[in-house]
Amino acid sequence: MTFSREPQASGIIETMTEPERQLAEPSAAFEPRLVAFVCTWCTYAGADLAGTSRLAYAPNIRIIRFPCTGRIDPLLVLKAFEGGADGVLVSGCHPGDCHYTSGNYHARRRWAIVRRLLEFTGIDSRRLYFSWVSAAEGRKFADLINEITQAVRAAGPFEPANPARRRPWT
């Protein structure tokens, strides 16, 4: 008796939802590269919940975990764009729920200034996203990533003056 190790793909595509089908089918279109600076306690846990709940969201994101969004240096956002990101997300605990008391309030004030810095440097401030996602909001995290991916895809690739910027990510 001979067994085939090749998966039978005939029924798989028909059982997928539309977002899963779009993620499974390769496309030659532009796929944005996103970097997310997230809070360990809330947004990272929300991302983990989205993953363990098997919620489909765009795989274009690289998550970098911080103890608190109040500890994220604004220069890291600039370095992310310099390093190849087409969009950046900063996400943390909801106001009043910070595990470090007031870190998210500091972050909120800081990111209002960072938007002006981006415009000064010539980076479209619509490529920077800021959001609050709690540990229980896995669906919100997945929806947020899909929305950001679509918005950045519509905006097109970020092309600064530095031609060496588009090196491949590993």
Specify the range with the lowest mean pLDDT, choosing from 8-17, 89-98, 158-167.
8-17
Average pLDDT, the chain: 83
Phi-psi group of 86: left, alpha or beta (phi > 0 → left; psi -120 to 50 → alpha; rest → beta): alpha
Q: What is the pTM of this model?
A: 0.77
The mean pLDDT value for 95-123 works out to: 86
Give the SS3 label for residue 100. Answer: coil
Torsional sign, CA 65, 66, 72, 76: negative
Q: From 3.40.190, 3.40.50, 3.40.390, 3.80.10, which CATH number describes the 31-156 domain?
A: 3.40.50
In the predicted structure, residue 6 carries a pLDDT above the cut 50: no
Phi/psi of residue 137, nearest 5 degrees: -110, 60
pLDDT for residue 88 = 96
How confident is residue 15, by pLDDT bands cut at 50, 70 and 90? Answer: low
Domains in the chain: boundaries: 31-156
User: How many CB atoms sit inside 10 A of residue 48's CB?
Assistant: 14
CA 169 distance to own-chain centroid:
15
> Each residue of 37-47: pLDDT tens digit?
999 999 999 99
